[in-house]
Amino acid sequence: MIALVRHGETEPNRAGLLLGRADPPLTDAGRAQADAVARSLCRSHAPIAVVSSPLQRAVATASAIAECAGVGVEVDERLVEIDYGEWDERGFDDVPADELARWRRDPEFAPPGGESLAAVQARAGACAQELLERAGDGVVVAVSHVSPIKGAVAWAIGASPDAAWRMRLDLASITRIIPGPAGPTLLTYNERVAV
């Protein structure tokens, strides 16, 4: 099984900004969220591996889980957040309305200097496939961000990348994918852990 974990809160998350490759730290609330997720994951079935996006908000979340599980943190670049390019750390109201509309209807559209949802799904799906095979009967935790996790879910259920617009994914949530007879299977989505 893969347990996909979205990182804890940062200041731009709190402000409702698009947060891609910018690299702010967790807030105090974000660190508490990471600790709560770690306790929840280690209580049920300790992970055999913890893999993380290279961004510090993900690595800090992963470190709390890895410490609890008694393993190290491995970094996988494919788990990094979508590249919002010129839109990074902007509010949705600051994005031109015509470009925002195009982004929502065209999975191949990329923000200026950024990355498309289709590209995110391709890399997140490939990473999820490898981690699912690696997990065997155990649990591999992958700490990532909203877009790669939604991309991995869309990959698992055979949906188009634009399905991401119809999924809500909270901070410090857990999403689980397991192997199934017909391929990857979504077991749970957006599990929230009490802090």
**Run of H or E including 191:** strand 183-192
Q: How far apart are CA 27 and CA 85, in angstroms?
A: 24
145 is catalytic: no
CA distance 8 to 1: 21
Confidence of residue 46 (pLDDT cuts 50, 70, 90): confident
Tens-place pLDDT, residues 114-140? 999 999 999 999 999 999 999 999 999
* Mean pLDDT, the chain, whole residue set: 96
DSSP result, 10-78:
BHHHHTT---SS--PPB-HHHHHHHHHHHHHHHHHS--SEEEE-SSHHHHHHHHHHHHHHT--EEE-GG
| pLDDT tens for each residue of 62-99 | 999 999 999 999 999 999 999 999 999 999 999 999 99
Give me the domains of the chain, ranges plus CATH numbers: 2-192 (3.40.50.1240)
pLDDT higher than 90, residue 171: yes
Yes or no: say if 59 and 52 are a contact pair by the CB < 8 Å rule: yes
DSSP letter for each residue of 155-190:
HHHT--GGGGGG----TTEEEEEEEETTEEEEEEEE
Q: Whole-model pTM?
A: 0.97
Phi–psi pair at 143, nearest 5 degrees = -95, 120
Helix axes 117-135, 146-157, angle to 10 degrees: 70
Q: Which is catalytic among the residues 9, 81, 115, 145?
A: 81
Q: Residues of 58-76 as b/e, b for ≥16 C-beta within 10 angstroms?
A: bbbbbbbbbebbeeebeeb
- Please state the rounded mean pLDDT for residues 167-184: 96
Distance from C-alpha of 128 to C-alpha of 184, rounded to nearest angstrom: 9
Catalytic residue among 7, 9, 115, 145: 7
Tell me, what's the pLDDT at 45? Answer: 79
Beta bridge partners of 5: 143, 174
